[in-house]
Structure 1
């Protein structure tokens, strides 16, 4: 009886600690949201206080000045195309490596794993030079190709572990029935990859939507800038428009937060299932 009481107290203590940690990590969101409704003088006066007057005009001004409809459209196109392309290529690549083991496939998988430890800062200049030679610098396709190339290693690694957990007997039955390799993959294997597919889509979508450094290097034309580049344009050497920037930031992170909460339960499910075998 005493042990049960002690275990319950420990559980309650852990819950309290987790709640306090959650509140601590939500503090930055409070500052962003509250200060997005303030004027610049009021914001500089006290960043922690509730606005004396809730200025919803900050959102309208940021929407118009930054041309956010165009920036959001560019971000959506880049995010959707990059995510679909990366998910398709990585899943097929992992499936081929698992089902057709060879020295070449094992070597390629080892290279993918090794590439995961290379920081993007180490390859930025060579990447820009390659895009320039290919003639796709300063274009949305150039950024999409870069995202797919940089994300293929980690996504393939995730799919690789998950494919191992799929019984090969299912595919053998389909092959006996006369299915082609592509039909087997798209009709049988890919639907079974749903938990990991959702995980890969979620992680890469959040990355592509919030990425700034690579987009700044590749997209130089104002009409091509993403929402993150549009927000950054409010800051210069002599001017920092925090009131508009915070309002724009709230509008930029809202879709990402909604998307995350809609799919976040699949992350643990996908990663855990992929780690069961192999």
Structure 2
């Protein structure tokens, strides 16, 4: 029996490699499909439940609505005060995200200009804030907000959100700032540009993917945050959507259709914003991973 020729061995290796790629590609597709279903099924359930009445919700919790209760959304807008809590949530989230992101960029850029031992100490100090749970600071936060006279105002939410958003912002933007081209910054300094001009015209555009990632991550958390508004924004005119949705949850009965309708309204803006900026979000998370 003769040994297979070189061409035959190459053909077999090519066939085995193609078979391996097919198996790996199929497994990857199945895995991604399962992950997609894990995300899409709860969203579909939430949307369908928002059109159900209370008897329909308990009688057929996983099926299509027997009667499509379109008025759940109008009742949620009226009874859950979404007309007030939605603008409040947009204002608080937008101002807090912009403030925390810009401050984090300033801190990250400033740290990148320091000597390495000093810079690492500052970087660790800010990032350590991620280890502090919100429940631990609620008492001093309560006392500080009361002393400042901000109780029941949107500023009682904006200032804590900006401070609590800094650790994540510095964590992501710190490595990105460290990879900024020094020659470009030095050339701008030689041309007479001030530090603020360098930061605004050079640093911020180069950090754009990271800024978008920080804005999305902090924005999702600030949009859905419940504990702080419950404590410091107790007035109806200063409440946010997570607190307003709880008004439908009672001790003995709950209007689940209205709850899910409110959740859909609350989820839609942040989901739409994420879908618009998915590409920038992905590139921002990897922007500082490898030095270029």
Fold shared per TM-score above 0.5: yes
> Does residue 246 in structure 1 map to residue 246 in structure 2?
no
After superposition, residues 68-217 of structure 1 pair within 5 angstroms as 68-101=82-115, 105-217=119-231
Deviation at 1:235, TM superposition (A): 1.3
Alignment-derived partner of residue 270 in structure 1: 284
Alignment-derived partner of residue 3 in structure 1: 17
Alignment-derived partner of residue 224 in structure 1: 238
What SS does the corresponding residue of 2:248 show, helix, strand or coil?
coil
What SS does the corresponding residue of 1:38 show, helix, strand or coil?
coil
Deviation at 1:185, TM superposition (A): 0.8
Deviation at 1:213, TM superposition (A): 1.1
Alignment-derived partner of residue 275 in structure 2: 261
Contact kept in structure 1, 2:168 and 2:214, CA below 8 Å: no
2:51 to 37, 42, 56: 37
User: In structure 2, do the counterparts of structure 1 residues 134 and 103 end up closer, same or farther at CA, with 3 Å as the change threshold?
Assistant: farther
1:49 to 47, 63, 80: 63
> What CA distance in whole angstroms lies between the structure 2 residues aligned with 1:274 and 1:114?
19
> What CA distance in whole angstroms lies between the structure 1 residues aligned with 2:282 and 2:101?
18
> What CA distance in whole angstroms lies between the structure 1 residues aligned with 2:85 and 2:237?
8
User: Residue by residue, what CA displacement relative to the aligned partner does 1:105-129 show, whole Å, maximum 9, x if unpaired?
Assistant: 5432221122222222222222222
1:58 to 72, 77, 88: 72
User: Residue by residue, what CA displacement relative to the aligned partner does 1:116-146 show, whole Å, maximum 9, x if unpaired?
Assistant: 2222222222222222222223321121110
Alignment-derived partner of residue 22 in structure 1: 36
What SS does the corresponding residue of 2:90 show, helix, strand or coil?
helix
What SS does the corresponding residue of 1:238 show, helix, strand or coil?
coil
Instruction: List alignment gaps of at least 5 residues for structure 1.
Output: none
Q: How many residue pairs are counted as aligned between the two chains? A: 278
> What CA distance in whole angstroms lies between the structure 2 residues aligned with 1:121 and 1:264?
31
Contact kept in structure 1, 2:49 and 2:260, CA below 8 Å: yes
User: Residue by residue, what CA displacement relative to the aligned partner does 1:138-172 show, whole Å, maximum 9, x if unpaired?
Assistant: 32112111011111111012111101111110011
The structure with the larger Rg is 2
Instruction: List alignment gaps of at least 5 residues for structure 2.
Output: 1-14
> What CA distance in whole angstroms lies between the structure 1 residues aligned with 2:44 and 2:246?
21
